[in-house]
Chains A and B, each alone.
Chain A
Amino acid sequence: MKLDEAVATLHAAELALADDFRELSALHAAEHDVHHQAQRFAKQCDAHAERLMPIVERYGSSGGGVDGSAFSGELLDDLRDLYVAAHETLIMWIIAGQGAKAARDEELLQVTQELQSETDLQMKWALTHIKLSAPQALVS
């Protein structure tokens, strides 16, 4: 993977994660906190992808697509899949940020520094809800 591919993969990961959040929200509409916050996160991922778009175009790589999660409809399972998808996206931010430093790409570096913490928070949000829902899901 070179930097152009890393940027394209990150962009694709954000798009896939946006879809994941939207699907999570739709599947779990009766879990009101998950439902509403997932919609906010979906829009945040859209915004991330939009911010990355000019950089992707500048590098000109079509990159590989990123598959969305295959949710089961069970809240705990779906949050686990979401956590993994968010974590993978976070890793792509870290990789792209490292690449930006090495390539002295200030635009990319600034975007990664600004937005990476939001993805980190998305991941931690999934973990918070995994911890909350596991006991009742497993032992009730």
Chain B
Amino acid sequence: MASERIADPWGPATPYEAGTAWPVRVDAHSDGEPERWVQSACVLCSNGCALDVGVADGRIVGVRGRGVDRVNHGRLGPKGLYGWQANNSPDRLTRPLVRRGGNLEEAGWGEAMDTVLERARSLLDEKGPSAFGFYTSGQLFLEDYYTLAVLARGGIGTNHLDGNTRLCTATSGQSLKETFGCDGQPGTFADVDHCDTLLHVGINIAETQTVSWARMRDRLEGAGRPRLVVIDPRRTEAARHADVHLPIRNGTNVAVLNALIRELIENGRVDQEWVDSHTVGFEALAKTVKPYTPEHAAEICRIDAGAIRAAAELLGDAERLLSFALQGVYQSNQATAAACQVNNINLLRGMIGRPGCGVLQMNGQPTAQNTRETGCNGDLPAFRNWQNDQHVEQLARLWNVDPLTIPHYGPPTHAMQIFRYAEQGSISFLWISGTNPAVSLPELARIRSVLADERLFVVVSDAFPNETTELADVVFPTAIWGEKTGTFTNADRTVHLSEQAVEPPGEARADREIFLDFADGLGLQDKDGAPLIKWRTPEEVFDAWRECSRGRPCDYSEISYEALRGGSGIQWGGERLYTDGRFPTEPDYCEDFGHELTTGVTFTEVEFKALGAAGRAMLKPAPYVPPTEEPTDEYPLILNTGRTVYHFHTRTKTGRARQLVDAAPDVWVELSEADAVRLGVGEGDVVRVESARGRVDAPVRLTGVRDGVVFIPFHYGYWDRGGRDGHDRAANELTITLWDPVSKQPIYKTAAVRVERV
């Protein structure tokens, strides 16, 4: 059993046909006989597979999928089956650490928190709220995030709060705001059961969300097979199943999507009646895509024009089209512009809000949706609009604070800008919770120097020592999944309750509790002098969140812990959004007034109203703009970074599960056959990949990556190198400090590099 899911990450097929239920298949793995099972869901990707945690002798000993759940029908992927072992790792942080004389040393909670409070108080006096930055995660629980959002936005009153979700799902959320007026996944995973055509754009879903791929694979192997179009520079598992694969050059998504849209228009495949009554912007979109003939796009993307026509025909023939996008869009050139064109394809075909007809702008991390919803990722809580004074008033009333306390003079500061302010010295206090920027942000030499700067006081809350905790002034040990109760929401809006199964190790505590201690210690108060944050337990936070979200598009008011216990996870907003063809684009209700897609120019309320959407979706166009960093004679290849199915993020957890470590122990470099021949290297030869910013040394794998493109998985850092020195293992040594002008998501997929044999 154990090795089975490594060799076959998707497990045995259970083929089924359109309109029937996806068969249940319960997957399980344990290292002993559980005494009891505790309800939870997986936190190792955005799919959110429901599972039960097996406990014996106060330890987690295994997991089994929940057959009753709507998301996974019992299945678990390799990370879900094996990743839980990290909870039991001897590497866990169990006591706070405080830097003394240059070294991190163990300390008591009182001393560690006092050290943080002392610095925080003096900075509040000297510099005020804008000296504070908070950089959080996509892997905590809703209850942790909402506590942090109230602490930072309503208590300290800083605008500098963002999540590492900026790296994984910012474009997903932003493209939904640009097109539909508000974040919120339109579709549902159940649309896989009904669709007749699948469009994958920049999503290697067989590796990133294995269980959702299993569902698609089961449709592809069942009666009434849906057609599959894949746009991806790599020959992925899904590409191998595709009817048409468009292996575009990195960074050219907008060109190929514009060509597909042009074909749909030219071939009369637009549902004009639906478009006229439910959208605005058709004329401008048609004009923008006009020059993108298949031949023109083929030249930009370096693919075959006939393949573009064939893909457009499949999309045009679809009666139930389900579209997916992920990091190949979100972390690439023109991220938001491209993601919006995916939305546009479904809108032009009038295929949204009905069974099998939908868009899934996927998320990366398991709880990223909550980071976005609670106001920890560039918006105000519950999808409130920073430019809408009424929305700010609502929060101020809810929290009983002066509206001016809540910064709303601009969009909440994004992660890359937070690090820039830290670099400049205007942010002097940075609290990093549940994320590892010293491996995951672009251009790591720069990030290390920012974090190591003595002017910056760095607090890190984490469960394991890592490359970021090494640079901290104070480290708090945290309780993680399985060791605390809370909720989280997956990429199709399914909310799951995850109950505490075991005690945290040593003195580790939940992030929520640590933030509450900090708020208490600072004496944060509401305007009547009462403590600002009035809740303590996870369920109390959740109930406060239900109130905060009431009446907003992400309305949790009908969802309770009680309702989440026992059965399946529950989707907020119902199974599908926009079933009535109405969209949240009323100016007083929408989350964002939107942006111009090529420059990121922020629209005002007046400009937004001029679009006249008012309940209709917005077809936003964008011409193709070449990547900022194009290959040169010195750096002739394009770097693509991404994931492997066996690991998550910087392997903080998956690097501590034996099966997953054995499956992918170290970094590698993927080259095309032709590039390998040209460079005189073969499978297994060690090469040096260099960009203007750094280098990585790793062995070669010859895969189906397209010519001119180099792929390196981004998971590997330095904590498990057995003492070897040098910064030559993390893919982000090479990447460029650059972000999408609209979503502010860093661009990891178009750095120029050269490769040499070592």
Contacts and interface: CB of A to CB of B under 8 A. Distances in A.
Given A32-B739, A139-B130, A128 B409 contact: no
B77 interface: no
A132 B738 contact: no
Contact of A36 (B409, B420, B628): B628
A101 interface: no
B131 A40 contact: no
A103 interface: no
Nearest to A123: B601
Interface in A125-140: 125, 127-128, 131-132, 135-136, 139-140
B130 A33 contact: no
B602 A140 contact: no
B596 A136 contact: no
B732 to A, nearest CB: 15
A53 interface: no
B127 interface: yes
Contacts of B410: 131-132, 135
B625 interface: yes
Given A32-B416, A33-B741, A36-B738, A125 B600 contact: yes
Interface in B381-415: 407, 409-411
B599 A140 contact: no
B423 A37 contact: no
Interface string B415-439: 0110011010011000000000000
Contact of A135 (B131, B159, B739): B159
A124 interface: yes
B224 interface: no
Contacts of A33: 600, 739, 741
A1 interface: no
Most chain A CB within 10 A, of B426, B599, B737, is at B599
A107 interface: no
A135 B412 CA distance: 12
A84 B426 CA distance: 27
Contacts of B628: 36
A40 B130 CA distance: 31
Nearest to A36: B628
A36 B423 CA distance: 19
Nearest to B598: A121
Contacts of A121: 596, 599, 601
A140 B738 contact: no
B421 A40 contact: no
B684 interface: no
Interface string B606-638: 000000000000000000010010000000000
A102 interface: no
Contact of B601 (A31, A125, A135): A125
B19 interface: no
Contacts of A136: 130, 421, 426
B625 A128 contact: no
Contacts of A132: 410-411, 417
A70 interface: no
Interface in A78-117: none
Contacts of B420: 30-32
B128 interface: yes
Contacts of A31: 420
B741 A37 contact: yes
A140 B130 contact: yes
B601 A140 contact: no
Contacts of B416: 32
Contacts of B739: 32-33
Contacts of B130: 135-136, 139-140
A84 B758 CA distance: 53
A140 B426 contact: yes
Contacts of A125: 599-601
A139 B128 contact: yes
B423 A30 contact: yes
Contacts of A139: 128, 130
B141 to A, nearest CB: 30
A47 to B, nearest CB: 13
A7 B578 CA distance: 50
A124 B131 contact: no
Nearest to B130: A140
A37 B599 contact: yes
A128 B426 contact: no
A89 to B, nearest CB: 16
Contacts of A135: 130, 159, 407, 409-410
Contacts of A127: 601
Nearest to A122: B599
Interface in A1-57: 30-33, 36-37, 40
Interface string B435-454: 00000000000000000000
A124 B596 CA distance: 10
Contact of A140 (B128, B409, B596, B625): B128
A115 B172 CA distance: 31
A95 B604 CA distance: 26
A140 B600 CA distance: 25
A124 B409 contact: no
Contacts of A36: 628, 738
A36 B630 CA distance: 13
A30 B450 CA distance: 13
Contacts of B407: 135
Interface string B711-746: 000000000000000000000000001110100000
A140 B602 CA distance: 23
Contacts of B409: 131, 135
A136 B131 CA distance: 9
A117 to B, nearest CB: 10
B275 to A, nearest CB: 24
A33 B602 CA distance: 14
Contacts of A124: 596, 599, 601
A120 B131 CA distance: 34
Contacts of A128: 600-602
Most chain B CB within 10 A, of A37, A125, A127, A140, is at A140
A36 B629 CA distance: 10
Interface of B: 127-128, 130-131, 159, 407, 409-411, 416-417, 420-421, 423, 426-427, 596, 599-602, 625, 628, 737-739, 741
21 contacts: A30-B423, A31-B420, A32-B416, A32-B420, A32-B737, A33-B739, A36-B738, A37-B599, A40-B625, A121-B596, A124-B601, A128-B601, A131-B410, A135-B409, A135-B410, A136-B426, A139-B128, A139-B130, A140-B128, A140-B421, A140-B426
Closest 9 CB pairs of A and B: A140-B426, A140-B130, A124-B601, A128-B602, A32-B737, A125-B599, A36-B628, A128-B601, A125-B601
Given A31-B420, A136-B421, 9 more contacts: A30-B423, A33-B600, A36-B628, A36-B738, A124-B599, A128-B601, A128-B602, A131-B410, A135-B410
Interface of A: 30-33, 36-37, 40, 121, 124-125, 127-128, 131-132, 135-136, 139-140
